[in-house]
A = this chain, B = another copy of it.
Amino acid sequence: MDLHITQDEFVRAMASVQGVVERRSTHQVLSNALLTAAAGELQVMATDSELTLVSRHVAQVSREGMASIHAAHLFQVARNLPTGPVHLVLENQHLVVDAPPAHYRILGLPPEDYPAFPAIEAVSKLEVGSEGLKRLVDETVFAIPLDDQRYGLNGGHLESVESPDGESRVRLVTTDGSRLCYSETPYSGTFGMGRHMLLPRKALVELRKMLDRPEEKVEIAFGERAATFTMGTAILHTRLVDGEFPAYRSVLPKTHLRRLEVDRIALLEAFRRVSLEAVDQSNTVRIQVQPEQLLISARSVDHGEANHPVPITLEGEPILMGFNVRFFLDVVSCMTDEALVAELGEALSPCVVRPRDRDDALFIVMPIRLE
């Protein structure tokens, strides 16, 4: 292995796998990245044995080859190098990093011991736009419980749906029991295999980082147990979560008694400000839905109280509802829309929030009982 790469491209290469490698693995090889010098590029691969990422970067390769090097350490080295060309050479299982005046000789593991990129028997293959996929993740991933082993809840459920005007879309659905979120984007291709799969949270987080690359299309392939996301310069492979996502459609309210329109930024600021006093165990805010405004308030035993009006237009009768403000904050801040619509029933019925001007995202927040 012998190649030249620019320092900033080397930093990007090593940065791309930092979220995948295990920092404190008992299995030493899982702390490493596999560097492969191939025709005109440096490929960096990392795996935690569930999730595998390969990232491709332009390089001048004069001898092909592979090296297995501690990923976090090599990232630190790369970041601190002088700008300009970096020369990487493998010598007796040591990676020599030469970027004068800096010079490193870093011990690796045998590259042949590195896990192979897992094979996948794809029964479905589809293509989506990367901007749409980015939004899909942003609008749902926060509602996947962090440490929840409840069967079927610990992942994002991807399925195929048909939009009202007949467009084929992938829909990603997540829930933590108090919220349910979905977001959709059009796809082309075939969605087989019972038409759904459950994606681990970590895979969605790494997919989201990958989508910051300036590329237009992502190919999604999946089989019974695994899926891959492929872009021009990166490929992510993930095992699917075992389990069946709950039959969430029964939770979606069919009707509503009240409907209101609100400016998203005004609502977000009000929630942020009032949340400073919503410090009880449920982070309780009271929302008085009035004909021309929401009056959002909270009261804490220690400090005091906050009140904040937000202008709205309302169809239906006024009502008083209670919410966990943190749940609402996530929902309101994940979108980029100007105007939101909320559909309400009775005080303890699920509250539906969605962007006013598009039909491809929907959020349900459960109210809490006020004392």
Contact = CB atoms under 8 A, between A and B. Distances in A.
Interface string A266-287: 0001101100110000000000
A276 B80 contact: yes
A269 B103 contact: no
How many residues of A sit at the interface, in one of the four size bands? 20 to 34
A77 B106 CA distance: 50
A310 interface: yes
Interface in A177-230: none
Interface stretch (A135-143, A234-242, A300-308): A300-308
B305 A102 contact: no
Interface in A83-107: 94-95, 101-107
A155 B235 CA distance: 55
Contacts of A163: none
A362 to B, nearest CB: 28
A306 B70 contact: no
Contacts of A308: 101-103
Contacts of A107: 302-304
Contacts of A63: none
Interface in A247-273: 269-270, 272-273
Contacts of A81: 273
A307 B106 contact: no
Interface of A: 70, 73, 76-77, 80-82, 94-95, 101-107, 269-270, 272-273, 276-277, 302-310
Given A102-B308, A107-B302, 4 more contacts: A77-B273, A101-B270, A102-B270, A104-B276
